Structure 1
Amino acid sequence: MTTPTPRADGKVPHHRAEGPATAPPLLLAPSLGTSTALWDKVAPELSVTHRVVRWDLPGHGRSPAALIGPGATVADLAALVLALADSLGLDRFSYAGVSLGGAVGLHLAVHHPERIDRLAVVCSSAHFNGPGPWRERAAKVRAEGLDELARGAHARWFTPGFTVPALVEDHRTADSGAYAACCDALAAFDIRELLPRIVAPTLLVAGREDPATPPAHLREIADAVPGAALVEIPGASHLAPAERPEAVLAALRAHLGGDAGLGMEVRRQVLGDAHVDRAQERQSPFTARFQDFISRYAWGEIWTDPTLSRRERSMITLTALVAHGHYDELAMHVRAARRNGLSPEEIGAVLLQTAVYCGVPAANSAFAVAQRVLAEEEAAS
């Protein structure tokens, strides 16, 4: 359910809320030059499990330009977010932001750790390549407006051949003074030395084709923030939530919790980090929804059902894979069975049972696969 909101009263940014009022709160922040529309393909899905609140930067979308002025800082924008959260009665919330919105999230996580539950920083950075280019852009916008800059927005924001006209129009119609003030904030922002102070579980999402904040910028944050995770999205440039929404949604669902988050944890426990990391690296926009489905359904619901132990589930899984001849999957689940406590002798007994009910040829192939996997594990130990 979406809650209509009136125009901002000049004290807090314009915002829109979606999802159950009693669900965990999640604030979604835009990038410079965009509006709440940046999250149009992601927010409705997240609102199934969260109280999603999208907000507009000053002078963007429906937020008043007067919320900030020349010489603004990211700290000023963070103060607006806290004022918004306070007005909604949110003492603690999760936060995801793109570019400038992500910088605001980093500031909040460093300076107001008691307010941030989980943090996701999307196509952003702990610094934006020094103040010079941003000061020049601010001066140009103050002198000439945004028309010329907006005409080149699609090249800065998206991969070749892709665009979202509504977002480009948001850029063109933003208030030039407020836009320039946001450029001032980016010019002054450099939080690299403070990143180790972040304690909130943190996800970094990078667009592999992003020229503005390339993956190296997100990797720098991931290396500095204790326990942070990094996801790179192929085929995405700077505005990944608009260009590759399904991949961004899958990453956020896994990070923010619920069945997908629990499922990813169980998946790693059963299959191992190396296997899951390889699967994540191979993920594409085409496979993102399937990976999310697997995490939520197979691992988040079935494998977490306490009716059967993981040992018992491994035995059942081995048998089913033999019955259907899925020998590549069988190799993976032989390794999983060992993690779940089955001995080589017990795995052999399961496969012997399959010879009776699935057929000798199937069991013969299964024994060959299992023997190879067990030999590899013994050699590696």
Structure 2
Amino acid sequence: MTDKLLHHRIEGPATAPPLILGPSLGTSYALWDPVAPELSVTHRVIRWDLPGHGGSAPDLIGPGATVGDLAELVLALADSLGVDRFAYAGVSLGGAVGLHLAVHHPERISSLAVICSSAHFNGSKPWEERAALVRREGPAPVAATADSRWFTAGFTVPRLVQDHRDADPDAYAACCDALAAFDIRDRLASITARTLLIAGRQDPATPPAHLREIADAVPGSALVEIPGASHLAPAQCPKAVLAALRTHLTGAPERGMEVRRQVLGDAHVDRAQARQTPFTARFQDFISRYAWGEIWTDPTLSRRERSMITLTALVAHGHHEELAMHVRAARRNGLTPEEIGAVLLQTAVYCGVPAANSAFAVAQRVLAEEEAAGG
């Protein structure tokens, strides 16, 4: 063993919520190339390489390694970067690392996504045989069958197959040892992190039934199956994986509905929900998921600042009914009547006096109603 860290790559704003991405056996962090740049718009994305894969030193693990050993390396990396609590997503062996972290270090995991992985990998024998083969002949014989195990017929990613060929034999075999010993089925019910399972419908290595088994055991978890995806879903179907991860990481629409109620009030949201029809349901979901679940939850601006911007935009476009609703929201977000008046006065300069005149009338009515109601 050494005190070296896992090789890694960091993308996204330093102040954004951290997200750690784990790879599959035989790949490098290049597995996440089609997905990580998009995720880094809203997160500080940290991708890591398995020992002996990509740029990670092979002597970070040795024979008889466990998934727990890999998890400790991930925690050491997080600690070195000053990351205490993080979202985690991992593929195959990387997903097993995420399950171990969620069970044994729940205080570190804010949310978990397990992709094309399992709580067990079909017993120890096949992994012991693969480890012996790689120690004896190197990774080339196993890499020769990578396409059929990783992708559907006719699809490949040459960079990932080359990563497989370039893996250090001893480190690769030690990762096989870890998979051979891994079985966490009896601990799944203890996972408290918000958990997403993503299965490739055509995955021969960890079929959807393996992900369903986890979903059935982890309280409150969600399962997404991706048609046309095999074992390395982020490489083969990145758009579908990205969509599922975005929804999971933002907590939308659940988080969106929570913020919507906090800003607009239960009474307003309950009325909107009561008026919902099959025709408007998708629009209501869009509002909760996108406007409230992504925009209003972005920590870059405070809710007070967002209220001031929203009031200005509504005045500019003459949306008086929405303006009344957001004057009430501005009061909930801490703006005083004097501050609301100052915002509207500013709109007189940049949006026009007639627009501001109408806005003052709307705001005065709303504030008078609140005062009469004891607000």
- The answer to whether the superposition gives a TM-score over 0.5 is yes
1:203 maps to 196
1:245 and 1:183 map into 2 onto residues whose CA distance is 26
Kindly indicate whether the alpha-carbon contact (under 8 Å) linking 2:250 and 2:294 is maintained by their aligned counterparts in 1. Answer: no
| 2:142 partner SS | helix
Aligned pair 1:243/2:230, yes or no?
no
Alignment-derived partner of residue 363 in structure 1: none
Equivalences for residues 145-224 of structure 1 within 5 A: 145-224=138-217
Q: Aligned letter for 1:14?
A: H
Query: What is the aligned counterpart of 2:11 among 9, 18, 26?
Result: 18
The C-alpha deviation readout for 1:133-182, integer Å capped at 9, x for no partner, is 00000000100111111111011000111100000000000001100000
8 Å contact kept, 2:8–2:47: yes
* Amino acid corresponding to residue 220 of structure 1 in structure 2: E
**SS of corresponding position for 2:204:** coil
Matched residues, number: 287
Contact kept? 1:19, 1:52, Cα under 8 Å: yes
- Provide closer, same or farther for how the CA distance between residues 263 and 235 of structure 1 changes in structure 2, counting only shifts above 3 A: farther
| 1:292-331 aligned within 5 A | 295-296=289-290
Q: Give SS of 1:182's match.
A: helix
- The alpha-carbon deviation at position 31 of structure 1 amounts to 0.2
Is 1:34–1:171's contact at 8 Å kept on the other side of the alignment?
yes
- Relative to structure 1, the CA distance from residue 40 to residue 234 in structure 2 (aligned partners, 3 Å threshold; closer, same or farther) is same
**Distance across 2 between alignment mates of 1:238 and 1:46:** 21
- Choose which of 53, 67, 70 in structure 2 pairs with 1:77: 70
> Which runs of at least 4 in structure 1 moved beyond 3 Å after TM superposition?
258-266, 291-295, 297-302, 305-308
- 1:352 maps to none
* Alignment of structure 1 residues 1-381 onto 2, 5 Å: 11-257=4-250, 262-263=255-256, 295-296=289-290
Which amino acid letter does the alignment assign opposite residue 134 of structure 2?
A: V
CA deviation map 1:190-228 (0-9, x unaligned): 000000111110000000010100111001001101101
8 Å Cα contact 1:263/1:301 also seen in 2: no
Closer/same/farther in 2, CA of residues 25 and 161 from structure 1, 3 Å limit: same
Contact kept, 8 Å, 1:253 with 1:261, in 2: the verdict is no
Max Rg structure: 2
Identical counterparts, % of pairs: 72
The AA in structure 1 aligned to 2:178 is A
Give 5+ residue unaligned stretches, structure 1. 1-8, 280-290, 309-314, 317-381
Quote the Cα distance in structure 2 between the aligned partners of 1:218 and 1:152: 23
Equivalent position amino acid for 1:43 in 2: A
- Once superposed, what is the RMSD of the aligned Cα atoms? 3.2
Counterpart residue identity of residue 247, structure 1: A
Paired residue secondary structure (1:16): strand
User: Which amino acid is the alignment partner of residue 224 of structure 2?
Assistant: V
Distance of 2:293 and 2:109 partners within structure 1: 27
Contact 1:254 1:264 in 2 (8 A): no
The alpha-carbon deviation at position 296 of structure 1 amounts to 2.8
Residues 121 and 180, structure 2, Cα contact 8 Å, conserved in 1: yes
TM-score w.r.t. length of structure 1 = 0.69
Q: Report the equivalent of 2:327.
A: none
Q: Which residue of 1 aligns with 2:342?
A: none
- Quick one: structure 1 residues 292 and 207, their matched pair in 2 at CA, closer, same or farther if it must change by over 3 Å? farther
Q: Take 2:257 and 2:215, find their aligned partners in 1: how far apart are those partners?
A: 19
